[in-house]
C-alpha cells in the first residue's frame, strides 16, 4: 500500500497541498471516486426509491439495494436485509436503544465500558432513565485496555444489553470483541458493538465477531455525510419495533392503528439517504480494493512511529496501549497546558488534529485530564506527516515551557 499514490485520489490534498490531515477519527477525507459517485447519482440517476414504477425510480431503487448488498459484504453479513441505512453512528445507537427498550425493565443492567464515546453511552443512559434499569461500566486499566476480569464479574449480574466500542476513539485500543461477545451472549445479553472507529480501519466480519448489532459511521470510512450502515441479526430485527415511524415503513395504516413492514424497511422511515448510500458503497469498494489488512498494517506502522517519537518528548503524557491491539489514534497531553493551545500551535503549522474530550468525558475523568490532543491516521497519511507532528509537538514544548507543570 502506497499512501503517496493513494493521496492523489483525494482532491482535498490538491486544494490544500500543505495540509497534514491527522483528524480522520473525527471524519475522513473522500476519494474522487466517492465524490463522483455522489455527483453522478444526483446528475443522472436521481429519483426517490421504493415508491414509483417509472424507470428512473426503479433504477435508483436498484442502486440503493445494490449499495445495501455491498455494505453487507463489506461487514461480512449473511443477508443484505440485515443492513439498515441510518444517518450516522449516533442515530444507529439511538435506534437500537429505542427498539430494544421493551427488553429492559426496572433493576435490569445495561453494561457499557468506561471508554465509550457519548454516542454509545447517552442513549443507553436515556433507556435506563425511562425503564428504571441501571448502567454499569467495564473499567479501563492503566494501560488503556478493558479490564476483562471485571467484565466477567459484571456479566454475572446478567446484563440485558452489553454495548461496547470495537476501537476507542481516544486510546486507539482495539477491544477483543469476539471473545467478549461470546461471553456476553452466554450470559444472555444482547451485544451491540460500536464500530464507528473500527469499520474504516480494520477488517470487520460480523459473522466472526458474533455480536447482535454492529454500528458504523459512513463519514469516517471515506463515505459522504448522511449515510451509515447499521447491521443486525435478521431474526432480531424481525422481532423489534420501529424507532422512527411514518412513510416507507408501514404495511397497512388505518386512522387509529398501523402495522409495520419487514426489516430493513421497518427501520428506514421517510426518504432514506439513498444517494449517499450509493456513494458509501463506492467508499466500501475503495477500501476493499486497497485491502483492509493493508490499511490496518499501515495505520499501525504510523502509530508505532508516532508513539516512539512522542515518547522522547519530556513531560508529554501519551495515552493508550502498545501492541497489536492498537489502531491509528494517538492522544496526548502536557500537564498544565490546555489541549486547545497545543492544537492551535499545531494548526499554525498546517497540522490538523482535534483537541477536547472527544465526546468521551468519563474516559477523560478516568485518565485524570480534562482534555487531550488527538492525532489520528488513515491510508493517505505518510511517515512525513507523523514526523511533522512529532517535531511540532517537541517545538510546542519549548514554546510553552513556562506553562507546562
Ligand atoms: C467510537 C465512536 N462512536 C460513535 C461516534 C459517532 O459517530 P457519528 O458522527 O457517525 O454519529 C464516534 C464519532 O466520533 C466515535 O468515535
> Please, what are the domains in the chain?
3-28+291-399 (3.90.1150.10), 34-288 (3.40.640.10)
pTM listed for this prediction: 0.97
Catalytic (active-site) positions: 359
C-alpha cell at position 29: 477525507
CA of 26, closest atom in ligand 1: 14
Q: How far is the CA of 395 from the centre of ligand 1 (A)?
A: 31
Pocket of ligand 1 (CB under 6 A): 88-90, 117, 119-120, 165, 169, 194, 196-197, 217, 228, 359
In contact, 302 and 383? CB cutoff 8 Å: yes
* Best probe residue, ligand 1, of 91, 94, 119 (max atoms within 8 Å of C-beta): 119
C-alpha cell at position 370: 480534562
Cα 333 to Cα 302: distance, rounded to the nearest angstrom: 19
Q: How far is the CA of 196 from the centre of ligand 1 (A)?
A: 5
199: helix, coil or strand? coil
Distance of CA 61 to the CA centre of its chain: 27
Long-range contacts of 31-36 (CB under 8 A, 24+ apart): 31/6, 31/222, 31/283, 31/286, 33/9, 33/282, 33/285, 33/286, 34/222, 34/223, 34/224, 34/279, 34/280, 34/282, 34/283, 34/286, 35/11, 35/279
- Predicted confidence at residue 51, as pLDDT, reads 83
- Predicted confidence at residue 262, as pLDDT, reads 97
Q: How far is the CA of 217 from the centre of ligand 1 (A)?
A: 6
* Residue 229 neighbours by CB distance under 10 Å: 31
Check residue 160 and give left, alpha or beta (phi > 0: left; psi -120 to 50: alpha).
alpha
Ligand 1, atom 7: closest residue by C-alpha: 89
* Residue 15 neighbours by CB distance under 10 Å: 8
Cα 364 to Cα 68: distance, rounded to the nearest angstrom: 36
* Residue 254 neighbours by CB distance under 10 Å: 7
CA of 119, closest atom in ligand 1: 4
Report the residue count for the chain: 405
Asked whether the CA dihedral 204, 205, 210, 216 is positive or negative, the reply is positive
**How deeply is 77 buried, as exposed, middle or buried, from its count of CB atoms within 10 A (0-12, 13-18, 19+)?**
buried
Tens digits of residue pLDDT in 104-139:
999 999 999 999 999 999 999 999 999 999 999 999
Cα 1 to Cα 20: distance, rounded to the nearest angstrom: 19
C-alpha cell at position 34: 466517492
Cα 235 to Cα 353: distance, rounded to the nearest angstrom: 42
Q: How far is the CA of 119 from the centre of ligand 1 (A)?
A: 6
The b/e string for 78-113 (b: 16+ C-beta within 10 A; e otherwise) is: eebbbbbbbbbbbbbbbbbbbbbbebbeeebbbbbb
Omega before 357 cis (within 30°)? no
Q: Where are the alpha helices (DSSP H) in 201-291?
A: 206-209, 234-239, 274-290
Which parts of the chain sit beneath pLDDT 70?
none
As a 3-state breakdown, the chain gives helix, strand, coil percent values, each rounded to 5, of 45, 15, 40
Tens digits of residue pLDDT in 32-70:
999 999 999 999 999 999 888 899 999 999 999 999 999
Residue 341's H or E segment, with its range, is helix 339-347
CA of 168, closest atom in ligand 1: 1
Amino acid at each position: 500500500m502506497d499512501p503517496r499514490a493513494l493521496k492523489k485520489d483525494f482532491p482535498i490534498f490538491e486544494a490544500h497541498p500543505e495540509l497534514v490531515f491527522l483528524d480522520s477519527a473525527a471524519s475522513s477525507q473522500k476519494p474522487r471516486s466517492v465524490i463522483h459517485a455522489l455527483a453522478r447519482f444526483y446528475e443522472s440517476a436521481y429519483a426517490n426509491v421504493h415508491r414509483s414504477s417509472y424507470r428512473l425510480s426503479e433504477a435508483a431503487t436498484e442502486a440503493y439495494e445494490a449499495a445495501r448488498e455491498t455494505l453487507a459484504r463489506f461487514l461480512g453479513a449473511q443477508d443484505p436485509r440485515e443492513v439498515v441505512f441510518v444517518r450516522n453512528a449516533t442515530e444507529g445507537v439511538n435506534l437500537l436503544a429505542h427498539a430494544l427498550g421493551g427488553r429492559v425493565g426496572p433493576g435490569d443492567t445495561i453494561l457499557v465500558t468506561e471508554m465509550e464515546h457519548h454516542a454509545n453511552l447517552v442513549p443507553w443512559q436515556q433507556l435506563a432513565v425511562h425503564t428504571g434499569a441501571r448502567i454499569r461500566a467495564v473499567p479501563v486499566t492503566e494501560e488503556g485496555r478493558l479490564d476483562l476480569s471485571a467484565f466477567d464479574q459484571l456479566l454475572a449480574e446478567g446484563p440485558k444489553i452489553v454495548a461496547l466500542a470495537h476501537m476507542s476513539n481516544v486510546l486507539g485500543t482495539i477491544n477483543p470483541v469476539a471473545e467478549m461477545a461470546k461471553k456476553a451472549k452466554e450470559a444472555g445479553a444482547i451485544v451491540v458493538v460500536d464500530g464507528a472507529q473500527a469499520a474504516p480501519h480494520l477488517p470487520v466480519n460480523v459473522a466472526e465477531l458474533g455480536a447482535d448489532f454492529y454500528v458504523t459511521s459512513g463519514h469516517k470510512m471515506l463515505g459522504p455525510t448522511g449515510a451509515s450502515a447499521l447491521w443486525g441479526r435478521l431474526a432480531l430485527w424481525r422481532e423489534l419495533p420501529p424507532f422512527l415511524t411514518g412513510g416507507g415503513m408501514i404495511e397497512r395504516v388505518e386512522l387509529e392503528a398501523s402495522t409495520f413492514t419487514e426489516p430493513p424497511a421497518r427501520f428506514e422511515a421517510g426518504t432514506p439517504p439513498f444517494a449517499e448510500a450509493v456513494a458509501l458503497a463506492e467508499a466500501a469498494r475503495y477500501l476493499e480494493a486497497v485491502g483492509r489488512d493493508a490499511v490496518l498494517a499501515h495505520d499501525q506502522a504510523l502509530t508505532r512511529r508516532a508513539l516512539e517519537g512522542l515518547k522522547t518528548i519530556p513531560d508529554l503524557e501519551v495515552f493508550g496501549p502498545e501492541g497489536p491491539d492498537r489502531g491509528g489514534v494517538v492522544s496526548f497531553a502536557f500537564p498544565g497546558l490546555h489541549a486547545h493551545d497545543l492544537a492551535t500551535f499545531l494548526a499554525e503549522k498546517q497540522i490538523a488534529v482535534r483537541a477536547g474530550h472527544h465526546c468521551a468525558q468519563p474516559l477523560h475523568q478516568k485518565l485524570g485530564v480534562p482534555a487531550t490532543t488527538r492525532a489520528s491516521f488513515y491510508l493517505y497519511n505518510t511517515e512525513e506527516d507523523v514526523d511533522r507532528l512529532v517535531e511540532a509537538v517537541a517545538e510546542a514544548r519549548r514554546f510553552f515551557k513556562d506553562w507546562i507543570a
